[in-house]
Amino acid sequence: MATPSELTDFLKGVEKRAFKRCAYHVRDEEAALDIVQDSMMKLVEHYSHKSIDDLPLLFQRILSNGMNDWFRRRQTQRNHFTNLDDYQDPEGDASYETLAQLLGADDPQAHESSENQAQRAQTMRQIEQELEMLPPRQREAFLLRYWEEMDVAETAAVMGCSQGSVKTHCFRAVAALAKALKIRGISL
pLDDT digits over 109-135, tens only?
556 678 888 888 888 888 888 888 899
Residue 89 has pLDDT above 70, yes or no: no
Phi, psi for 8 (deg, rounded to 5): -65, -45
- Residue 97's pLDDT band, with cuts at 50, 70 and 90, is very low
116-188 folds as Arc Repressor Mutant, subunit A (1.10.10)
Alpha helices (runs of H) in 27-162, residue ranges in sequence order: 29-47, 55-80, 114-133, 136-142, 152-159
Given pLDDT bands bounded at 50, 70 and 90, which one contains residue 81?
A: low
State pLDDT tens for residues 137-186: 999 999 889 888 889 999 999 899 999 999 999 999 999 988 988 888 87
Model-level pTM? 0.55
Is 23 buried (19+), middle (13-18) or exposed (0-12) by CB count in 10 A? buried
CA 162 from chain centre, in angstroms, equals: 20
8 CB contacts (<8 Å, ≥6 apart)?
none
Where are the chain's structural domains? 1-81, 116-188
